Amino acid sequence: MKDTILRISHLYKSFGSNQVLADFNLELQKGENLVVLGKSGSGKSVLIKCVIGLIEPDEGSIEVLGQDILAMDHEELDRLRVRVGFLFQSNALYDSMTVRENLEFPLRRRYIRNSDTDCDALVMEALANVGLEHTIDMMPVELSGGMRKRIALARTLILKPDIILYDEPTTGLDPITSLEIISLINMIREKYGTSSIIISHDMRCVKLTADRIAVLLDGRCFATGNYEQLSQIHDDRIHPFFN
């Protein structure tokens, strides 16, 4: 039996005259890695920013872990965000803080720290997951692009969210680092049982991470299926992705 953890229904969003999402529908199952595939500027990032409440849609509903996020006030949304992690395309590490402070930031904000030891243990565990314990006292500017992505992933992971939203996790990375990030995404799902929405147009990332793929086209969910199913579709707008 399906266990739906996130449901997007009839979502509409436009910026001025540019209709980005138009009657978009999607469901995410528990423990599933769902990739949203679409060309640049198709509204993939807007979609996941709507899911986390960073962008308010014009119409529709978004149900996350059984709660309608559009009906929530700021405090309720903050509480829900503990259970939803977000990996930004630009990593969004705080420049003025060390790696340790970056990782501690979500913990301290959420009052879940009982003592410094607990906090340190959580930070070290998150860093161990991405294999970067030695960077704990470094500044983000001292890290390579791949290391920054892994630290950002560790920060996303530190609250052990039920759902992780990845915004183009391998964009701008070399093939080897990209493969490392893909392995981490899969490891996180296996180790913590998280469900994920992965925004990507990197077909290697799509192939290696996706249980299911949703193609975002003209603002709506044009097709869903696994990699093999979608690669069989002979549509001029989908086929080039799989070629």
Partner 1 sequence: MMNLPVGIQSFLKETGEISRFSWRFFKEGFSPRFELSEFIRQCFVLGYKSLPLVGLTAFIIGLVLTMQLRPTMEYYGVEVQIPAMVGVAIFREIGPILTALIFAGKIGSSIGAELGSMKVTEQIDAMEVSGTNPFKYLVVTRTLATTLMLPILTIIADAIALIGAYLGENIYDTLPFNLFFRKVFLNLAYIDLIPAFIKTFFFGFAVGIIGCFKGYFTDKGTEGVGKAANSSVVVSSVMIFLIDLVAVQIADLFQR
Helical residues (DSSP H) of 52-96, grouped into ranges? 74-81
Q: Is 20 in the site for partner 1 (CB under 8 A)?
A: no
Stretch that binds partner 1, among 106-114, 180-188, 195-203, 219-227 (CB under 8 A): 106-114
Q: Is 24 in the site for partner 1 (CB under 8 A)?
A: no
> In angstroms, what is the minimal distance from the CB of 106 to partner 1?
4
Q: Please, which residue, 90 or 183, has the CB nearer to partner 1? A: 90
Instruction: List binders of partner 1 among 108-127 (CB under 8 A).
Output: 109-110
Q: Please, which residue, 40 or 243, has the CB nearer to partner 1? A: 40
Q: Directed axis angle between helix 116-130 and helix 175-192, to 10°?
A: 130
Structural contact between residues 11 and 206, judged by C-beta atoms closer than 8 angstroms: no
Q: Directed axis angle between helix 145-157 and helix 175-192, to 10°?
A: 10
Q: Is 242 in the site for partner 1 (CB under 8 A)?
A: no
Q: What is the CA radius of gyration of the chain?
A: 18
Q: Please, which residue, 101 or 120, has the CB nearer to partner 1? A: 101
Q: Please, which residue, 27 or 104, has the CB nearer to partner 1? A: 104
Token readout for 201 is 């147009």
With residue 127 as reference, give the H or E element that holds it. Answer: helix 116-130
Return the ∠ at Cα 224 (arms to 195 and 189), rounded to 5°. 20
DSSP states of 170-232: TTT--HHHHHHHHHHHHHHHHHH--EEEEEE--HHHHHHH-SEEEEEETTEEEEEE-HHHHHT
Q: Please, which residue, 96 or 243, has the CB nearer to partner 1? A: 96
Out of 12, 100, 105, 223, which residue is the one contacting partner 1 (CB under 8 A)? 105
Out of 27, 50, 86, 151, which residue is the one contacting partner 1 (CB under 8 A)? 86
Q: Give residues in contact with partner 1 (CB under 8 A).
A: 49, 52, 54, 74, 78-79, 81-82, 84, 86, 88-90, 92-96, 105-106, 109-110
